[in-house]
Amino acid sequence: MKRKGAVDTLRDQRQFFIEIILVRHVENYLNYLSSLLFEIFTQRPETLRSSDRIAVEEVLRHSTVDAIVKAVAERKVEALSYSSFQDLAVFFKERFSLSLASPKDESAIIHAIELRNISVHNRCIVNSRFVSRTGDGTTAVGSRKELFIDYLDDLVPLLQILVHQLDQSARSHLRLKATRFRIGSKKS
């Protein structure tokens, strides 16, 4: 009997580890978008203007206008967080004149989000929803989508670049106060 070493065990679990890394990076990206929306809404409350109504009871629960703005912003961010990436991209473009990604990069982000979804909800088994949203017919419905490290090697830098670009655009276009985001920076 051949004894397995630690490297062999890790190799056997490659798919599992790649899925964890993928899910974490996609979640961080989506969380950044939600955080940015909250910052925009709270720093620029006029961006919350809409035909939505707020009950007097809700207004009276808060002691300051800032508290009301934060509550409304949280509610709006939560509602938008359930939108598709395409809808979110349209919202950013129409409301703030900010682009989340080029069409090519948007396709890559949608693919990553959908991979995250089948990993989290379906053990990386491809379903018809994944195929229809991504156009990826390389793996048959009902089969496991196999992931490789080179996919992450392409995706992770792309996410970093998109966050960096969006952060700079949002700060300059909307005059947001924020800590500068630097790719690869280390805080001492």
Taking the C-alpha atoms of residue 129 and residue 135, their distance in angstroms, rounded to an integer, is 10
Q: One-letter amino acid identity for 21?
A: I
pLDDT beyond 50 at 104: yes
d(CA 169, CA 137): 35
pLDDT in tens, 42-91: 999 999 988 778 888 888 889 898 999 999 999 999 999 999 999 999 99
The H-assigned helical ranges of the chain are: 6-12, 14-43, 56-60, 65-81, 85-91, 103-122, 128-134, 149-174
Look at residue 144 and give its three-state secondary structure.
strand
Q: With contact defined as beta carbons under 8 Å apart, do 97 and 173 qualify?
A: yes
pTM as predicted: 0.86
Q: State yes or no: pLDDT of 186 exceeds 90.
A: no
Helical spans, DSSP H, in 44-64 = 56-60
